[in-house]
Structure 1
Amino acid sequence: MTRSKIFNLQGIKMPELTHERMQELKQTPKGKLITGTGIDAFPDLLKLMETSLHDQLAKYDHMKRTGQDSAKRKLLLMEMLEDHLYWEFAYHMMFIKWREQKVSKAS
């Protein structure tokens, strides 16, 4: 799924998944969970992460439409941005593990 289908909030700059940021994410509990995930479990993990992002986005939209507290909306937005970065990180890790699996089978 492309970035625009998951997360397209006008005026919000998405954080980039740089090499340095990936190294930081690997050190977090969530990052360790992702890096420790087996290749066969990634589709389910990514679907779960994607569903969570959709739920958060729906909640954010509802909060915005009903004019709820902007501080709570900002906190939710920050959480969504972080979760989206982990989602991209998980896709990257799945590709790395897939590539490693293909290389080891070819050897």
Structure 2
Amino acid sequence: MNALGGPGLGHIMLGRRRRGCLFLLPTLACLGWFFWARLLPPMLELSDRLNAGLLPFDPLAIALHARAEVYLALRRIGPPGLLVALLWIGAIADSFLLAPAQKRGE
């Protein structure tokens, strides 16, 4: 269940904070980079076009432009997206390796 929440959250819930942070912190850094470097610039450009009057103040038109920008940003996520996927898979695999030790009380 915690595998859906994010890599490392299950580890933190089980009291393995250091191990959980090894998965969680790089994931948060990659997601922060994605929002800062890939999503924020096109959204600021969209805002500038709205302020300049180049785009009509129509909620549907704005939503369509924003959706197109988000789609383009997701298509070029690159290595940070791959790193997040690998961290997620690694956290799930690590939790399966920890499960027997957790049952034994280690």
| Interval of TM-score (by shorter of Structure 1 and Structure 2) | 0.3 to 0.5
Q: TM-score, normalised by structure 1?
A: 0.43
Does 1 or 2 have the higher relative contact order (CA < 8 Å, sep 6+)?
A: 1
State the structure with more CA Rg: 2
**TM-score normalised by length of structure 2:** 0.44
More helix by share: 2
